[in-house]
Structure 1
Amino acid sequence: METFRFQPGETPVLLSIPHVGTMIPPDIAATMTEHGIAQPDVDRHLDRLYHFAPALGIGFLTALCSRYVVDLNRDPEGIVAQPGLDPTELCPLTSFDHAPIYRAGQEPDRAEIERRVGAYWRPYHEQLHSELRALRDRFGVAVLFDAHSVRSRVPRFFDGTLPDFNLGTGDGSSAAQPLVARLMNVLSASERYSAALNGRMRGGYIIRNYGKPDENIHAIQLELTQSTYMDEDAPYRFRPDLAAELKPGLERLMSAVVEWAWQKASGQRRAAYL
């Protein structure tokens, strides 16, 4: 069963979209509530929003399975990335609105969770791990851009309304400060969209696990508010009008990542690409 899609790029940058998948295997779907089947917390349409990435030479890795099957941005050991929040589980039991995902008595037990980690979680992370090291070995540096989206208001996790662009670097641990500063300069230039660095969304398991600046592997998480490109309520329509306004700034941001990565890449390897 195919659980992710991967396309290599020709730059030191990899785009990961771990929460865009909507596929739920029939045996798991049979145990879920209607609310669970509706998947209100999926990062919908991000693959469509970032469709320009391959043209910049960026490789991409996107999940096919829903985060309700297993959350690829959670630690398999259950360690919470951001203490103080009300986190969802590796195999979430409730939605962001605290509604049950499973029918009573049909929640996944330990054995089922371990099965899902092996079948759905591990393949994604094995590909992510191997590609980042391949990029670092090829270019001398690798940058992971972990793309997410979230409703602009989720009382379970934060008060009020989120900024439009929420950049997370694990409180500064997952990426070099000059790279982060360059990206914040790009975001700060916008008169339309607001931005925050390591605010209420500081990054999950993926960037904290793979971002190792001392080993020339840098990782950044971006949480876009869904109101910038789609309807936040069902049926969660993609909004081409909103996306058309958002994409130029998003492309400038991704171009800045690629530019910085090339500047840090080995001269010989860059020359081979050119």
Structure 2
Amino acid sequence: MASPFPGASYECLGTDSPNGPVVISVPHGGRDYPPALLEALRVPLSAIMGLEDRLIDLVGHAARSDEPMIVQTRPRAWIDLNRDERDRDPLIDLGARASGRGSSKVRSGLGLVPRRIGGHGDIWARRFTDAEMVARIASDHRPYHAALSACLAAVRARFGVAVLLDLHSMPPLGAADSYPRVVIGDRHGATAAMRFVRRVDATVRTAGIAVTRNAPYAGGHVVERHGDTWRGIHAIQLELDRSLYLDAALEAPGPGFDATVLLVRRIIAALAAEALGQPLPLAAE
């Protein structure tokens, strides 16, 4: 399905006639760095590439069957779709209110437009004007969320329920096998019914992978905004350890890529089965 917003910085797949209750969102996989971003950098491009959920979009594409999927193509450094549009940082944004929301993300330098990155410090050589920020919100942030909302509404209208799988990746939390390599985020029970969380948890554990819930990632703006359990829309953020599917340098697909794709495919199938009231399949493989 073509984007309903001409020039919008995301791609829509399979949204014309959804065949199942699961919708996939990939808000941090974008690698289309516009010239205006490159001109404003005070650090090398390689530094801000660390903000990407590196190649997680490739995992989503490979794991998807006919599920609707919406993928942001602009990078997180340009604008973070997993932040509220009000999370504007006055230290880099001339239009932000110095006494605004002041969320913990803004204070840490990871607001609507990230200000800092670990190991490199401040990202930008200048502050951005209010007009620049408003333009990014209007052309990138709002269209993505509008498209995702419309897709979820269409799925819910057809199946009576919709499940959003917001796909992310994370740096390794530790070297030992005991560290979680998958984190399920549901905003501490606010964005999805427990039965969906249990299905995801069981699927990951069956694959022999350590998993936890809401720590250190409880889910961001995407699931908080779109999850509405009272209306039958359930939203889960899924964080995958990048070492599961990337090489040792965490830059290119690695030996675990195919197994990670299969894991995500099974998670999607488990969520669909739960939404449609189907039993959990036996782990016969």
* TM-score for the superposition, normalised by structure 2: 0.81
Corresponding residue for 1:35? 44
Would the aligned equivalents of 1:31 and 1:102 in 2 still touch at CA under 8 Å? Answer: yes
Structure 1 position 164 matched with structure 2 position 173: no
Gaps of 5+ in 2: 1-6, 88-100, 279-285
Give the deviation of 1:204 after TM superposition.
0.4
* SS at structure 2 position matched to 1:72: coil
For the residues of structure 2 that align with 1:257 and 1:85, how far apart are their CA atoms?
35
Structure 1 position 196 matched with structure 2 position 216: no
Picking from 164, 183, 193, the partner of 1:144 is: 164
Would the aligned equivalents of 1:203 and 1:221 in 2 still touch at CA under 8 Å? Answer: yes
Equivalence map 1:1-274=2 (5 Å): 1-7=7-13, 8=15, 9-36=18-45, 38=47, 39-55=49-65, 57-78=66-87, 86=108, 88-97=110-119, 99-103=121-125, 106-153=126-173, 163-191=180-208, 193-231=209-247, 233=249, 236-239=251-254, 241-263=255-277
Letter of the 2:225 partner, please give it: N
For the residues of structure 2 that align with 1:148 and 1:47, how far apart are their CA atoms?
9
Would the aligned equivalents of 1:74 and 1:205 in 2 still touch at CA under 8 Å? Answer: yes
* SS at structure 2 position matched to 1:62: strand
Give the deviation of 1:230 after TM superposition.
0.9
Would the aligned equivalents of 2:10 and 2:144 in 1 still touch at CA under 8 Å? Answer: yes
Identical positions, percent = 28
Give the deviation of 1:92 after TM superposition.
0.8
**RMSD in angstroms over aligned alpha carbons?**
2.4
How many equivalent pairs are there?
252
* TM-score for the superposition, normalised by structure 1: 0.84
Gaps of 5+ in 1: 155-160, 265-274
Provide Cα deviations, 1:140-199, integer angstroms capped at 9, x if missing partner: 111100000011149xxxxxx9511100000110001111112211122232x2100112
Letter of the 1:177 partner, please give it: M
Give the deviation of 1:95 after TM superposition.
1.6
Provide Cα deviations, 1:96-138, integer angstroms capped at 9, x if missing partner: 44522212xx132333222211111111011011111111112
Provide Cα deviations, 1:71-101, integer angstroms capped at 9, x if missing partner: 0000111257878993501011112445222
Provide Cα deviations, 1:238-274, integer angstroms capped at 9, x if missing partner: 21x111233332222111011112228xxxxxxxxxx
Would the aligned equivalents of 2:22 and 2:268 in 1 still touch at CA under 8 Å? Answer: no
